[in-house]
Structure 1
Amino acid sequence: MGRDGDDEDALRWEGDEDATLAPGWKRVGDPTTPGDAAGDGDDEATDAAASTSADGTPAGPQIGSAELVLLGVFGGVFLLYTLGWILTVLRVTNTATDPVGQFMFALGLALAVIAPAMWFAVAFALTRGRVPLRFTWLAVGAVVLLPVPFVAGVTV
């Protein structure tokens, strides 16, 4: 049989105690944690150091696992919507005869193609730190921007 230390080593990974690997993680009273060397509970210096990035700019809140998965799902949906609008635009013929009408028709088609990507980017940028509001707007966009002509198989 092995030593008891071998059993404990199997459950650990080298560097588990390194506080720099997980931002915001620290052990209270740990002498290796900056700002809390004496274990006096003074966490302000440590919190300020953890909330800034390497170049000194404030770091934003971390994204949780569930939020990251949902962002990936919505990102994939909006990517498929963009593809659906591209395929729809390729099937549509411009029937306008005057130059202004042709330009406006082409502009509308181009805006239809970039709308899903823009909705995702704007919803992500304007709802920073407000997760329920972010996913509400992404869900609204998933309904509003559905490429109905592609889904219905309508050819114009």
Structure 2
Amino acid sequence: MISDSDDALNWDGDEGAAPAAPSPTASGAKASAPTDGPSDDPALPDGWNAVGKGSEAVGRVESEGSERASLSTAMLLTVGIVGGIYLLFSIGWVVGGLRLKPLANLIVADAMYVPWFVLAVAAPALWFLAVWVLTRAKAAWIRIGLLLLGVVLLVPWPFVTVGVIGS
């Protein structure tokens, strides 16, 4: 009889089988890549192959394009810092744009000012999203370069020139 704590380690129908000894791949060693051919084991569903020695482990066969490379620590830190700068830029566009609105009402109507104000507030987030999606398969230096270009181009000039208090 299998206890409740051992129940999580077994599949349904394995009541009579003894628990398998841990394999060398379970101790932290890298597992071998899945085979590309169809599985010889009729018990496995379509698209699944046995991985490792024999049928110790079962893994889903992934297409070559579905594997993603993880980001390095330096890249994660850089993306996080630049993302924080973009968030501050959006806040700066809100504060600076609201301070600039009374002066802008002398020149343009609200129907012209509000859409451009909303676009200016959303521009840093849109730039970040566009760079993130469009540079997915590119080198890391291209992604960083475009993110830093956005930092230069999207400076909230109404906030920089007028500030919170204004003059």
Q: Which range, TM-score by smaller chain?
A: 0.5 to 0.7
Identity of aligned residues (%): 29
| Secondary structure of 1:37 counterpart | coil
Which of 105, 111, 126 is 1:118 aligned to? 126
Q: Distance in 2 between matches of 1:127 and 1:108?
A: 27
Residues 50 and 66 of structure 1: is their aligned pair in 2 closer, same or farther, counting only changes over 3 Å? Answer: farther
Which of 50, 53, 57 is 1:37 aligned to? 53
Residues 97 and 125 of structure 1: is their aligned pair in 2 closer, same or farther, counting only changes over 3 Å? Answer: same
- Which residue does 1:137 correspond to in 2? 146
Q: How does 1:64-103 map to 2 (within 5 A)?
A: 64-92=72-100, 93=102, 94-95=104-105, 101-103=109-111
Q: Which runs of 4+ in 1 moved over 6 A?
A: none
Q: Distance in 1 between matches of 2:106 and 2:67?
A: 51
More helix by share: 1
- Which residue does 2:114 correspond to in 1? 106
Using structure 2 for the length normalisation, give the TM-score.
0.58
Equivalent AA in structure 2 for residue 117 of structure 1: A
Aligned Cα root-mean-square deviation (Å) = 3.5
2:31 counterpart of 1:26: yes
Query: Does the Cα contact within 8 Å between 2:97 and 2:158 map onto a contact in 1?
Result: no
2:140 counterpart of 1:151: no
More strand by share: 2
> Alpha-carbon deviations, 1:34-56, whole Å to 9, x = none?
63427xxxxxxx8x84778xxxx
Alpha-carbon shift at residue 73 of structure 1 (Å): 0.6
Unpaired runs of 5+ in structure 1?
Answer: 1-15, 29-33, 39-45
Unpaired runs of 5+ in structure 2?
Answer: 1-23, 34-49
Query: Does the Cα contact within 8 Å between 2:31 and 2:52 map onto a contact in 1?
Result: no
Residues 51 and 69 of structure 1: is their aligned pair in 2 closer, same or farther, counting only changes over 3 Å? Answer: farther
Q: Which has the higher contact order (CA 8 A, sep 6+)?
A: 2
Q: Distance in 2 between matches of 1:140 and 1:97?
A: 31
Q: Distance in 1 between matches of 2:74 and 2:151?
A: 19
> Alpha-carbon deviations, 1:14-33, whole Å to 9, x = none?
xx9537x89xx4379xxxxx
